[in-house]
Amino acid sequence: MGDAATVLCAIAFLAWLWRVRDNARTLSGHRPRYAWPWVYAGWIVPTANLWIPRGIVADIHRASAPGERLPHAVNWWWGLWLVSSLGAVGLYAGTTDAVIARAYTYAPLLLVVDAAAVATAVAGVFVVRALTAVQQKHMH
């Protein structure tokens, strides 16, 4: 059930990202800095996924509200995402038995990584609200 919810949230977020990216292009009249495949590939291409998704969001904000400061939520969201993603790489790799053994051995680290994942989702809500609001403000 948790995996299905994660997939649905990812699809909803990417659909929103695509829409605000198109809105930003319309508002600014300029092509986005990153080509369209990066909206999706930026999340899965190793190493590039460390900066491209944040770059896409920052680019959307710049195009939607030139001269306005990037919302703090974007940096919090991205920093927390990096902590949770990079921390999960080592903790959740391997067999189920190995993951369970690490959960007992590295419980504090596991809690930090999981807390960062939850905080990332919360910060993501603020990012969606901030970018949507800035676009609505500049459309009216």
- Residue type at 113 in one-letter notation: V
Environment class of 127 (CB within 10 Å of its CB; exposed 0-12, middle 13-18, buried 19+): buried
* Cα separation, 48 vs 118, whole angstroms: 23
For residue range 62-82, list pLDDT tens digits in order: 999 999 999 999 999 999 999
Which residue bears the tokens 């403000």? 137
Domain ranges of the chain: 2-139
For residue range 20-68, list pLDDT tens digits in order: 999 999 999 999 999 889 999 999 998 898 999 999 999 999 999 999 9
